[in-house]
């Protein structure tokens, strides 16, 4: 069974909708941990940044259509 041209790539486009996850992860950390003062705010910023990075990498792995593998192979060969 062939897939109509209009529907090709629609699964990947739907998975791109989870691109909001990194921002939500950072916001969740920032709202969950109260911080007052310079050093606690620095620590909170680092924690929120780590959460955003982890969520972003998860989205990249889930939505990867082979592009990430190609880039990694090219970098490892160089």
State the pLDDT at residue 67. Answer: 75
Please choose, from the candidates 68, 67, 69, 33, the residue with its C-alpha nearest in 3D space to the C-alpha of residue 48: 33
Q: What is the mean pLDDT of the chain?
A: 79
Contacts of 2 (CB under 8 A, 6+ apart): none
pLDDT in tens, 28-52: 888 888 889 999 999 998 999 999 8
Quote the number of domains for the chain: 1
pLDDT in tens, 10-19: 665 555 666 6
CA distance 52 to 29: 9
- Whether the pLDDT of residue 5 is over 90: the answer is no
CA distance 9 to 17: 13
User: What's the domain range around 39?
Assistant: 5-77
Q: Which residue has the tokens 């909001």?
A: 20
pTM of the model: 0.61
Residue 58 · residue 21 · CB < 8 Å? yes
């Amino acid at each position: 069974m062939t897939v109509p041209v209009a529907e090709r790539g629609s699964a990947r486009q739907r998975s791109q909708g989870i691109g909001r996850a990194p921002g939500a992860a950072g916001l969740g950390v920032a709202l969950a941990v109260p911080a007052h003062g310079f050093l606690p705010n620095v620590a909170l910023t680092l924690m929120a940044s780590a959460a955003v990075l982890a969520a972003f990498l998860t989205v990249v792995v889930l939505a990867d259509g082979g592009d990430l593998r190609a880039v990694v192979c090219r970098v490892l060969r160089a």
